[in-house]
Amino acid sequence: MNFKNFSLRKFKKPQIFALVAVFFAFLVSIPLLPLPALSNNTRANIQFVSPNWVAENAKDPNLRILDVRNFPLDYIEGHLPNAINVADTVFRGPKPGLPVQYWNTQKLGQIFASSGLTNNTRVLVYSDGRDVLGATMVAYLLERSGVKNIAVLDGGYAGYKAAGNVTKEFPKYSVGKFTVQDNPSIRVTLNDVRKLINKPGVTFIDPRPEKLFRGEEDIWIRNGHIPGARNIPWVTFTDGKNPHKLKSLDEIKQILADKKITPANDVIVSCSTGREATLQYVVLKHLLGYPKVRIYEGSWTEYSTQKDLPVETGPERAV
């Protein structure tokens, strides 16, 4: 057929309708090609790694090691080779009406860039002792900011020092170009919490010490816990001798089973200031594969100021 002078004006309406029908029949006959599957690289991964992992990956030019211990002389006295010291305390500060809140995304991006990170950097984070909470907090903020490959050193500085060589040399590096790619899906706001209290299928985990959970210590404006919350103090997930080292995942699974917490739950972890919550968040979501785990960043510091919200005291409800 010569299409050069082709025009629908030559056809009558019934003929036009017939041509349209043939055209759509032709389209339907074309097989649909499957859409490409989303790559797993679109999701962040946080893992706990051994000192051997550090040795195996030490020569990777794309790996940044963040020493987030808070006392500068600890870092100066000794640290992992090529580790950059950025105290976990620098990631938080005041906002009107509340202390110790996570900085806005712009400031978080500046901190990460100053530490030599880019959006494609692999990051290892470590601290020492009970400050494993600082390490998991920074790991959480890295995920929140769009970093995909994140590791926490199991056993922390003490565990590494017992197994590997430490140094006093300060690494030289270039300031990175880091653009925060905010991920709001891993956290909830105060307004979200208002809607989720006592909602079927939603479980609040409170990792604070038992006395704080029960409201037996007078610290906040109001003391107690979110109604229905399950109390799992964060230290129960860690080794008794070195709190920077996790218990076995089988032991942790049993702790959760005893509290009737399963992967089917929509889990919200809420603590004192949003720091303790990050350890259980990382374990449940990234190590155990719970599909829906989020953090209430404002935690009890914010919740306790809202006088219209309910507060429970005493032991947790019977399951």
Task: Calculate the CA 79 to chain-centre distance.
Answer: 25
In sequence order, what are the residues at sequence separation of 6 or more whose Cβ sits closer than 8 angstroms to the Cβ of residue 127?
67, 68, 69, 88, 134, 135, 156, 157, 244
Torsion of CA 50, 52, 57, 63, to 10 degrees: 30
d(CA 142, CA 182): 10
d(CA 15, CA 7): 12
**Is 98 tagged catalytic?**
no
Contact 142, 112 (CB under 8 A): yes
Compute CA distances 20 → 12, 25, 28, whole Å. 13, 9, 13
CA angle 279, 145, 57 (to 5 degrees): 70
Contact 100, 301 (CB under 8 A): yes
Compute CA distances 56 → 52, 120, 164, 274, 299, whole Å. 6, 19, 12, 33, 38
Considering only CA atoms, which of 286, 239, 276 is closest in space to residue 131? 276
Q: Which residue out of 86, 133, 271, 279 is catalytically annotated? A: 271
Hey, is 64 helix, strand or coil? strand
Contact 150, 142 (CB under 8 A): yes
Which residues are annotated as catalytic? 271
